[in-house]
Structure 1
Amino acid sequence: MSKENQKLIAVDFFCGAGGVTCGFKQADIKVLGGIDVDDVFKETYEKNNPGSKFIHKDISKLSFEDLVKKLRISKDDDNLIFIGCSPCQYYSNLKTDKTKSKDSRLLLEDFQKFVGYFNPGYIFIENVPGFDRSKESPIGKFKQFLSKKGYVFDDKVINAKYFGVPQNRRRYVLIATRVQNEISIPEGDKENIKTVKDAIGNYREFVPVKAGHVDDTDFMHTVAGLTKVNLKRIKKVGKDGGNRLDFADDEELQLDCYKNHSGHTDVYGRMSWDKPSPTITTKFRYTSSGRYGHPEQDRGISIREGATLQSFPKKYVFHSNNVSVIGKMIGNAVPPKMALQISKVFKK
């Protein structure tokens, strides 16, 4: 490794459970710390990423001086990377209630203030696919700001499945630099796509279990329970990629809302062994939330299986007594392997 590469350092704004930090550290980039408004992430972030400090703070209330004091960063550092993967479900293409996520819509503007003050050498942003197309999105103004500051950038929607992640996950990505004359997001590998079987098909690691199984070890092969009717439904769904149409003719099992509706067939469906998984959301543990049924076993996927499909290392431990909180940690994360591949652009 060159001396120049050894100098690369990063600050992970909106760090969550540490998906980007994990990926960047795999690329030997020193992540000084992560910032998040929710302290539920602190133990998970720091224990899995030793040497990276967790800062529990709303960045709109974090001063530049305080960040300098905590992480010892300086202005105009060519080797400094600012990561700004803010939670912005508000701009998602999904037609969901926006009221809960409304407060998150201006986080990029808060991040921009730090970019303006510190003038880092590089910037990495990841967000939902609709982020670049929403009329209310601040990304247009942010790109104008970058150009005025002398940055060049590349931005587009990419799919994590082309970056070593066994998951069909489309995300908006922007990378920028003021150190080089040009920068471009890699195309990824469209030939060697990882599948569900590649990720969780080893039954010596992911031993067969039943719905409701609880794993108290750090491996967390814990599975959500199923009601009697939902257990009947998953048993009716064909192995290796079946969907809810497999029980459509069963009066007991068919749901009223789908009696005259043939869409949304992923709900109550099973994953396919030889394809990437669907997008891992915060509700990935529940068969009623999407195609989250195990390809063979009559259950939803486990916490560890969801984390593995997100490309977290199997030794990455999620610290919380609340499985719903852990689901959010995993589902909202940037897949580490995608972050790793993006980070290599900064090292060239």
Structure 2
Amino acid sequence: MSFSFYLPTRIFFGEGVLNKHGALLKDMGRRALVITGRHSAVTSGAMADLTHLARQLDISLATYNRVPANPTLAIVAEAVALARSEGVEFVVGIGGGSPLDTAKAVALLVPNAAPATELYQASLPQPPLPLVAIPTTAGTGSEVTQHAVFTLPEQQLKKGFSDDRCFPQVALVDPRYTASLPLEVTIDTALDALTHAIEGYLSKLSTSLSDTLALEAIRLFAARREELVNSNLSPEGRADLLYASTLGGMVIAQTRTTLLHTLGYPLTFSYGLPHGRANGLLLAAYLEFIQPAAPAKVASILAALGMTAIKDVQGLIRRLLPAPEKYPTAELQRMAGLVVGAGSLAWTARSASREDLVEILRQSLG
């Protein structure tokens, strides 16, 4: 057996972790930029906890709270400009994947001269500002990854960015901050976490250790699936889903995601489907496609879910999500064309042609 596993993020998980362990922020500086969306930091209670802690530690906070779902590099540029004007010494991201991903890009760009619009091409030699991640959804796992995803309108797609320097130094993961999420968002984000674990498990980059984490994340989701279906998610259930999300992030930090995520991006960009929902709608057809190349692993996924066949996965998705819109063949072909040549296809367990991608979309949406 031979593998590598890199995770430089220090993780604190549990209720009240910001109050219990937040004193370590004083070692990062005296001025911080908080990057978040318009509501999540406040409604979750995370912003109140951070503000109280900052007063105790004599840390001043500037706030950029305009990160939307599916942020563009223009949003990153605004936050970078604020960070530079405020002379901040570290960055705190609070929220789901969009604020946390934006915080990563800001922390990396502030010390470097490159504009945000050149994030994917520019040389970025200077080390990033220290970054603290506080998730308020149980889906993205961004608090423990080096990845970020941004919407590129000119290319009509979402595109991932990865840099090992973008791992947060600290992740403060408190299940209480997910309690205010609507059930719909909870389901969408839980499916994102589930697909992280499944795709990581089926990735050509997977290892024995990442597989162990992936299967545990899948089991955690399975243990709470009926609570999601029946709209009676308990506090313990929310904690389990957040733990599964963090585990899923740890997995894709090693394995990346595969064609499922990439194939879901056009649904988000063109039709506004939440990212996790798009993944969920495509999940059963994706497993059907992968099964001939990895039958034992697909069987292990089904076992971890407490299922016997892929049709059971589709049945669960139909119970969790509204029926998807149907799309004409020409549109399915257009969406598939946006994915052809994507890097994620290289580490997907089975090679996919454009026709294969169209068929996955057709089975799910056609």
Fold in common (TM above 0.5)? no
Larger-Rg structure? 1
Which structure: greater helix fraction?
A: 2
**TM-score normalised according to structure 2 size:** 0.29
